[in-house]
Amino acid sequence: MHPLKTRQPYPRNQWWAAAYSSEVGRELLGRTILGERIILYRTERGEPVILSGLCPHRAFPLEKGCLSGDRVRCGYHGFAFSASGTLEEVPSQTAIPAKADLRRYPVAERGGVVWIWTGSEALADETLLPDMAALGPGSPAWATEQHRLATIAARYTLLIDNLLDLSHASFIHADTIPGGNFVAGLPVDLVETPESLNVRRKGNGLPPNPFFKLMFPDHAGPLDQSFDAEYFGPHLIRTGGALYDSANGALLGTQNYLHLITPETPSSLHYFVITSRDFATGNPALGQTHMDMGLRIQPQDKAAIEAIELVLQGLDSPPREVSARCDTGALKVRHRLETQIRAEECPA
Amino acid sequence: MHPLKTRQPYPRNQWWAAAYSSEVGRELLGRTILGERIILYRTERGEPVILSGLCPHRAFPLEKGCLSGDRVRCGYHGFAFSASGTLEEVPSQTAIPAKADLRRYPVAERGGVVWIWTGSEALADETLLPDMAALGPGSPAWATEQHRLATIAARYTLLIDNLLDLSHASFIHADTIPGGNFVAGLPVDLVETPESLNVRRKGNGLPPNPFFKLMFPDHAGPLDQSFDAEYFGPHLIRTGGALYDSANGALLGTQNYLHLITPETPSSLHYFVITSRDFATGNPALGQTHMDMGLRIQPQDKAAIEAIELVLQGLDSPPREVSARCDTGALKVRHRLETQIRAEECPA
Amino acid sequence: MHPLKTRQPYPRNQWWAAAYSSEVGRELLGRTILGERIILYRTERGEPVILSGLCPHRAFPLEKGCLSGDRVRCGYHGFAFSASGTLEEVPSQTAIPAKADLRRYPVAERGGVVWIWTGSEALADETLLPDMAALGPGSPAWATEQHRLATIAARYTLLIDNLLDLSHASFIHADTIPGGNFVAGLPVDLVETPESLNVRRKGNGLPPNPFFKLMFPDHAGPLDQSFDAEYFGPHLIRTGGALYDSANGALLGTQNYLHLITPETPSSLHYFVITSRDFATGNPALGQTHMDMGLRIQPQDKAAIEAIELVLQGLDSPPREVSARCDTGALKVRHRLETQIRAEECPA
């Protein structure tokens, strides 16, 4: 599926953000992830649970049912399942049919996010989870904000493309990102490791602006600002980065924008954004400013990639693509993603 | 089409409810039944007429035209057809083109309902019509209520499944059907005849409730209540049934809920509901209570099966199905229906 | 695609109305024509430009970008193109990628309309443009009105069918076209030339009505009115025509209704209507009456052919069609159009 050249649209042996921790509680939450309907809730002890979302009896969506203790009861004919997915009760009889269990997905909670493993349970490995604390969320040394979850009617790869080519900041976000108009003109530096691929830009000697002032009230002169776009996998991209005193190169702090991307269907995605910083952590006005900016920036990206999705769906064949040099990172990311998917399509 | 294992979605050699009698008059009524557009009206003498609904000239929907006496005139170029479907007038010429007639469907009127025969005209047989008077509608000894016609975005077989497994009353209708919470726990008794298949339950010694009091104001003690689900064919299912005095087993009366189901398209249906009783026939408050309850119950079933229809349309293959013992009746009904459809697909 | 028996839905070596001249200015106008997204604008010198509407970089719709002088700048990453479609600037680099130009469509402006040539550029020939001035628009001797552009959810051939069989005026427009009720009964006269096919009707001795009075205030008696339907190609049909004094046959004037039809997609069309007359050219009340009538007439045709389009999309196979003698012109037009399309599908 354009822009990937693979049969499957996404990898399955992968952790994905399923929900913010605050969304998951003692009510059933229904969601579609990678084309599969799931339900999320917490046990009475507070542990997150993710089960398949359709009753195996007559395919009724389980989120329309209810929780009874740790059990999920279907809202149609009352079949009840334990938190491990086992069918435990059929109201009209005492015997329990075989092979009627729900799939229980491997689940983990990190950095205020409930993560789901969508692939083979045998391969679920918590060491593959992103190190959220290192990026801010969950670490006491950082302040973080969770932005409103957006569900976007576009294939998830369009959002990856979007984030890996930050030159768009100078056009789509010219009025919403302070300093964004500098980005397209900055040289690009590519840092590749097995863990990530970082498309780095640095704006040197950027003149003071009100946003810088809010971040660093004690600093008066120009700043050197990082515009990283670091791909850890299709589930997580970090933008932003370190800020320095232009006068002496001293590190002032790090401002991360964490983009958690989860395919909903082949042509839609869930988009979780978390901002985090290791400076001015006690300043609620700065956090509020990030939330306000997010409300203006995110709809611009949503509108852009939804417009492209509509274009693609109207085409009989994939569009031609002319790439610029600053697309190199995005193209390498596509290649990484294709390699990951192909390894699942045709295991060695 | 799931849940049936047949090529055709529905049988055609079958009477179906096309409209309530009160809907059919001297205005053209357009409707889609089994994927075919039809028009319904009455002649000046009051006889119901059902014709195919597209003008054979340029496929204009005839319900946008008008009646001139007993003739239907197309609203686009004025072609006019008799009540038997014969093209009788072309405004721009005197000659009448050949092979331009509308199909006239066999039609019958019983129990306040206009019935259509959708199959081969040679096989249309009024003795195959349901005996409505025996079920209440059209008999002077019964009181009846016609409930609002609902068109539901779900394949008709999901509504048949729904009605044949009344254990759902204890969950979907727990708040709207008095005594419904007992149903799932009652034992099931299956009565099969060539004419019908009845999934019977009986609640014995049900304690008095306001609804019982309204039905039988002179009776104070507990009741034995029938929860039948009797399939006469895909066009008609009866639920409810007889009520008895628990003390001595005396019959107090019969309360029927008649469910007339007509496929609109492979994935939608028309749902006519008629309630009928042979007791307290002069009590309008009881009739109003039935109408009010219908307004609360029907949307619950509609929401449930529309949710399942959406699920099914989103799946690449039919869902797995785990069945309970109380599904036996519903599964036998599916088998009857498949047998009926296959006899049309491959006549002996 | 019904009603044509060709593989391609429309001819491409053809001029089509792309926009009214007044729609095209110094803002980017996006439109879809024959399934292709285009943008329209004027250079600083006022010349109309039509370019393909998707950025070759990442398929972003260019109408969401902006004009910088005569250049189009993409709103996503800032790629900029000259008015001839040449990629001239990539903000993130100095080199210009090859093969990144937009298609520039041949364009012409006649009669207040911007015309696009959708086929091979080598075959674009301005002598194939309709002689608009002869029909009124652009000629100082005529008064003209441009009616509101309508986009209609129906294949363009349904509008051609509609216009070539004006007997529909007696039914669909019985209440909106003065004298329309006469049309279906008038004899038809077919005039075929290489340039056009004219289905002519003439109403003789039509009694005076308020509309005639408004057109010819100095004339009191009956009129002979032409109801032509003249096909010049799929892009242009003229209806209306000359009006005469019934008493002596003297020509009183000509009232044209020009129907400019442009396929948007295989199942939708843009509909431009221009009325023109060579009499009472200084009477604004008459022009206003035409505009008011258009607001009532056009929605009737739109509703009719959109209803048929919905019918056709719901059918598994093309509908049967019974034709009357007065359809001869429309059927011959279908044949001309099929011949035109086949010549492109299989050049001699």
Please name the helix (run of DSSP H) or strand (run of DSSP E) that holds residue A214, with its range, or none.
Answer: helix A210-215
> Cα(C24)–Cα(C114) distance, rounded to whole angstroms?
8
Q: What integer pLDDT is reported at residue A226 of this predicted model?
A: 96
A52-74: pLDDT as tens digits: 999 999 999 999 999 999 999 99
Residue A256 burial (CB < 10 Å; 0-12/13-18/19+)? Answer: buried
Please, which residues bridge with residue B62 across strands? none
More confident call, A176 vs B305: B305
Q: What integer pLDDT is reported at residue A180 of this predicted model?
A: 80
Among residues of chain B, what percentage have pLDDT more than 90? 94
pTM reported for the whole predicted model: 0.94
Tell me which chain B residues have a C-beta less than 8 angstroms from the C-beta of A37. 311
Among chain A, residues having any CB pair with chain C shorter than 8 Å are 161, 165, 167-168, 170-172, 184-185, 188, 304, 307-308, 311-312, 314, 319-326
Q: What integer pLDDT is reported at residue B92 of this predicted model?
A: 86
Taken in order B215, B220, B226, B227, is the CA torsion positive or negative? positive
pLDDT of A249 > 90? The answer is yes
Judged by CB atoms closer than 8 Å, whether chains meet at B57 and C161 is answered as no
Q: A132-345 in CATH: which number?
A: 3.90.380.10
A301-347: pLDDT as tens digits: 999 999 999 999 999 899 989 999 989 999 999 999 999 999 999 88
B75-116: pLDDT as tens digits: 999 999 999 999 999 998 999 999 999 999 999 999 999 999
Q: Average pLDDT for residues B138-162, to the nearest whole number?
A: 98
- What three-state secondary structure class fits C300? helix
> Cα(A312)–Cα(A299) distance, rounded to whole angstroms?
20
> Cα(B55)–Cα(A41) distance, rounded to whole angstroms?
56
> Cα(A156)–Cα(A266) distance, rounded to whole angstroms?
8
CA neighbor of B189 nearest in space, from B199, B181, B180, B197: B199
B59: closest chain C residue by CA: C308
Q: B15-128 in CATH: which number?
A: 2.102.10.10
Among chain B, residues having any CB pair with chain C shorter than 8 Å are 35, 37, 54, 56-61, 64, 73-78, 87, 90-93, 95, 97, 99-100
Q: What integer pLDDT is reported at residue C306 of this predicted model?
A: 98
C271-317: pLDDT as tens digits: 999 999 999 999 999 999 999 999 999 999 999 999 999 999 999 89
Tell me which chain A residues have a C-beta less than 8 angstroms from the C-beta of B168. 76-77
Judged by CB atoms closer than 8 Å, whether chains meet at C165 and B77 is answered as yes
Phi, psi of A241 (to 5 degrees): 130, -160
Spell out a b/e string for A99-138, using b for 16 or more CB atoms within 10 Å of the CB, else e.
ebbbebbbbbbbbebbbbbbbeeeebeeeebbebeebbbb
Spell out a b/e string for B146-180, using b for 16 or more CB atoms within 10 Å of the CB, else e.
bbebeebebbbbbbbbbbbbbbbbbbbbbebbebb
Tell me which chain B residues have a C-beta less than 8 angstroms from the C-beta of C308. 58-61
CATH topology of domain B133-345: Naphthalene 1,2-dioxygenase Alpha Subunit; Chain A, domain 1 (3.90.380)
Chains meeting A at 3+ CB pairs closer than 8 A? B, C
CA neighbor of B59 nearest in space, from C132, C319, C280, A102: C319
Tell me which chain B residues have a C-beta less than 8 angstroms from the C-beta of C323. 57, 97
Helix %, strand %, coil % of chain A (to 5): 25, 30, 40
Q: Where are the domains of chain B?
A: 15-128, 133-345
Spell out a b/e string for B96-124, using b for 16 or more CB atoms within 10 Å of the CB, else e.
ebeebbbebbbbbbbbebbbbbbbeeeeb
pLDDT of B347 > 90? The answer is no
> Cα(C191)–Cα(C48) distance, rounded to whole angstroms?
36
- Asked if B100 and B56 touch (Cβ cutoff 8 Å), the reply is yes
Judged by CB atoms closer than 8 Å, whether chains meet at C58 and A171 is answered as no
Among C181, C310, C311, C317, most B C-beta atoms within 10 A, so best to mutate, is C311
Judged by CB atoms closer than 8 Å, whether chains meet at C97 and A324 is answered as yes
> Cα(A37)–Cα(A54) distance, rounded to whole angstroms?
7
Confidence of residue B136 (pLDDT cuts 50, 70, 90): very high
Judged by CB atoms closer than 8 Å, whether chains meet at A171 and C95 is answered as no
Q: What integer pLDDT is reported at residue A178 of this predicted model?
A: 79
Among chain B, residues having any CB pair with chain A shorter than 8 Å are 161, 165, 167-168, 170-172, 184-185, 188, 304, 307-308, 311-312, 314, 319-326
Tell me which chain C residues have a C-beta less than 8 angstroms from the C-beta of A311. 37, 54, 59-61
Q: What integer pLDDT is reported at residue A280 of this predicted model?
A: 96
Among B311, B313, B317, most A C-beta atoms within 10 A, so best to mutate, is B311
ipTM comes to 0.93
> Cα(A43)–Cα(A26) distance, rounded to whole angstroms?
7
Per-residue pLDDT of chain C (348 residues), as tens digits, is 999 999 999 999 999 999 999 999 999 999 999 999 999 999 999 999 999 999 999 999 999 999 999 999 999 999 999 999 999 999 989 999 999 999 999 999 999 999 999 999 999 999 999 999 999 999 999 999 999 999 999 999 999 999 999 999 999 998 898 878 889 999 999 999 999 999 999 999 999 999 999 999 999 999 999 999 999 999 999 999 999 999 999 999 999 999 999 999 999 999 999 999 999 999 999 999 999 999 999 999 999 999 999 999 999 899 989 999 989 999 999 999 999 999 999 887
Q: What integer pLDDT is reported at residue A136 of this predicted model?
A: 98
pLDDT of B232 > 90? The answer is yes
Tell me which chain A residues have a C-beta less than 8 angstroms from the C-beta of B314. 35
Average pLDDT value over all residues in chain A: 96
Tell me which chain B residues have a C-beta less than 8 angstroms from the C-beta of A91. 167, 170, 184-185
